[in-house]
Structure 1
Amino acid sequence: PDHLRRMALYKVNSGCREQEVCKLRWDWEIPVPELETSVFLIPADFGGRHEASGVKNGDERLVVLNRVAKSVVEGQRGLHPTWVFPYGKPDENDDPTPVHRMNDSAWKKARKRAAAKYQERFKRPAPAGFASIRIHDLKHTFGRRLRAAGVTEEDRKALLGHKNGSITSHYSAAELGKLIDEANRISATDARGPALTILRRTAG
């Protein structure tokens, strides 16, 4: 399904966990005009589908958008006032709801179709990892691609939302620009000049 394709593309380019994608909200978006982009700041108390499925470390989760992830987000803009990735089925208010989970029957069917297409194209069975790819593997793929691109461990921790005592919700635009550039190393580098800004969640 097209909505799962967009979510998977976003996930493998942002390193987010499944519920950080499914329940991504527009009011978590923070514009960074100095860089002509935006980031998402997921609250520390976000619970996801169940208590253990939201933000893992009890800290706010900064999500920077590389070129591909930003393109996905821009394609979702205007579809729903609350959810970045709304699902087509209406709720009791006749309004689209967020996707409950990505790892559903549609994902498993798409995985089988992809494996069949792989075999048809390359004349050999798809590798086991390809044929049985899990949703969480997309996050690991993001991390492995960052490491292969030479991104430092500290920056990988920040980009993957891993606990890091030096990471806070206050970044200069230069620091954000560096993280975005690092994330773009798995797609295309987009260098920007330094500027200064502070990320603060708007009260109310």
Structure 2
Amino acid sequence: MAKREKITISSIKALTVQDQRVNDTEVPGFHARISPAGKITYYLFYRINGKQVNYKLGIHGEVTPAQARDLAKAKAGEVANGIDVQAAKKQARKQTQLAKLTRLGTFLDEKYLPWLETRNSKTAERTVKTIKAGFPDLLGKQLSAINAWTIEKWRNEKRKTGVKPATINSYVNPLKGAMSRAVEWGLIESHDLNKVKALRTDNKVVRYLDKVEEASLLDTLRKRDARIKAERENGNLFRQQRGYPLLPELRDKHFADHLEPIVLLAMNTGMRRGELFSLRWENVNLVNDYLTVIADNAKSGKSRHIPLNHKAKQALIQWQQDTQGTGYVFEGEPGKPITDIKKGWIKVLTEAEIENFRFHDLRHHFASKLVMAGADLNTVRELLGHGNLEMTLRYAHLAPEHKAAAVNLIG
């Protein structure tokens, strides 16, 4: 049964579970409740706008009776002035949560990434990682504090250190997308990053292998294959002499591992790295000489068929014979696609003495050879899976005869 007396340390110590609560005799509405477990909490009871409210002041042990009384007086004064302190408390808590959510790092993890994963699960994590890698100093900032001047200053610093315009753009563009999404979701009213115009880049610079480099790359891959096979044979001889289990023989395999067939396929199909890694045998038609990049694995979101020339088909036939594969063409862990070839690829480039050449440039190499052989740009566009012809026009300068033919039409 409730007691009625001034709330003091003594009255709180004397409070029992049977008492349930004690109502203060000096401050109207100020009371303390005890739970069945013995936990004592201080409250202020008040009425406002036709409703009854119990406002939590604190837990005994964290606040003293005197502190709870002072807080009760202060809150009662606010109520007398027409303020619903409970509603104000909830609003303040909401603002605190919103402030946390509108920090860039939290927004990326808790809002933007889950949304991206529903749109394109393959690129979602990479997009967020790109933003975090580019702007680590902004992750703790409020979205509303990130403005065009912030990014212009960051961009100028990057340019001074020699970072290429294309690389800078690759960081800024995803950040713009995230900020625009925050506006659409009502987390911030607006942003002005659209004032940060993309830096000019020379998209017409295309890196492809000349004949000497191509021959060197293929020769290095073959030598690497032979070396791995020899090392396996010597290793098994060593193991046999000591009674250790032998590793699978490579002597009769066409390829020692996945690297050479991946490179050959990239050079002769123009497929992106992700498309190669996710390729499955059911999407390879060796009877009719083509493979299919399915929509889920294509950057454009559209499937496309790529004819297989002799080199590409031969590499796939031999690799299938080597692996007896039925799932992913290039398997990493059992049942999963390979995820990285960077280490082996860099070693091959170093040994072949090929500089300033990325794995993605094998795609440029494929397209460049097609154009130089006389293929029309629209065909190249379809084979590469470009969304529009503008992306393919970077290869146009490799076919100067079409310009001469056009001029001769009026000569």
TM bucket (normalised to shorter chain) is 0.5 to 0.7
Whether 1:56 and 2:325 are equivalent positions in the alignment is: no
Whether 1:22 and 2:287 are equivalent positions in the alignment is: no
Per the alignment, in what secondary structure is the counterpart of residue 282 of structure 2?
A: helix
Question: By how many angstroms is 1:96 displaced?
Answer: 6.3
Give 2:352's aligned amino acid. Answer: A
Whether 1:37 and 2:288 are equivalent positions in the alignment is: yes
Question: By how many angstroms is 1:62 displaced?
Answer: 1.6
Q: Deviations over 1:136-173 (max 9, x none)?
A: 000000000000000011211122122369xxxxxxxx
Q: Distance in 2 between matches of 1:164 and 1:9?
A: 26
Q: Distance in 1 between matches of 2:335 and 2:270?
A: 25
Q: Distance in 2 between matches of 1:110 and 1:29?
A: 27
Per the alignment, in what secondary structure is the counterpart of residue 291 of structure 2?
A: strand
Per the alignment, in what secondary structure is the counterpart of residue 105 of structure 1?
A: helix
What's the RMSD between the two structures over aligned residues? 2.1
Partner residue in 2 for 1:7: 262
Q: Distance in 1 between matches of 2:337 and 2:378?
A: 32
Partner residue in 1 for 2:330: 85
Whether 1:99 and 2:338 are equivalent positions in the alignment is: yes
Give 1:112's aligned amino acid. Answer: T
Whether 1:110 and 2:348 are equivalent positions in the alignment is: yes
Q: Distance in 1 between matches of 2:263 and 2:362?
A: 7
Contact 2:327 2:335 in 1 (8 A): no
Contact 2:272 2:360 in 1 (8 A): yes
User: Scaled by the length of structure 1, what TM-score is found?
Assistant: 0.58
Q: Distance in 1 between matches of 2:283 and 2:335?
A: 19
Q: Distance in 2 between matches of 1:58 and 1:97?
A: 22
Compared with structure 1, are the counterparts of its residues 113 and 96 closer, same or farther at alpha carbon in structure 2 (3 Å cutoff)?
farther
1:161 to 358, 378, 385: 385
Compared with structure 1, are the counterparts of its residues 15 and 99 closer, same or farther at alpha carbon in structure 2 (3 Å cutoff)?
same
Q: Distance in 1 between matches of 2:292 and 2:314?
A: 18
Contact 2:272 2:363 in 1 (8 A): yes
Structure with greater proportional helix content: 2
**1:147-158 alignment to 2 at 5 Å?**
147-158=371-382
Per the alignment, in what secondary structure is the counterpart of residue 295 of structure 2?
A: coil
Contact 1:19 1:101 in 2 (8 A): no
Per the alignment, in what secondary structure is the counterpart of residue 62 of structure 1?
A: strand
Q: Distance in 1 between matches of 2:275 and 2:351?
A: 26
Give 1:106's aligned amino acid. Answer: G
Partner residue in 2 for 1:191: none
Per the alignment, in what secondary structure is the counterpart of residue 21 of structure 1?
A: helix
Per the alignment, in what secondary structure is the counterpart of residue 86 of structure 1?
A: coil
Runs of 4+ in 1 over 6 A off after TM superposition: none
Contact 1:28 1:40 in 2 (8 A): yes
* Bigger Cα Rg: 2
Question: By how many angstroms is 1:112 displaced?
Answer: 1.1
Per the alignment, in what secondary structure is the counterpart of residue 24 of structure 1?
A: coil
Counting matched residue pairs gives 132
Partner residue in 2 for 1:168: none
Q: Distance in 1 between matches of 2:260 and 2:319?
A: 12
Structure 1 unpaired stretches of 5+: 47-54, 116-129, 166-204
Compared with structure 1, are the counterparts of its residues 163 and 62 closer, same or farther at alpha carbon in structure 2 (3 Å cutoff)?
farther
Contact 2:261 2:319 in 1 (8 A): no
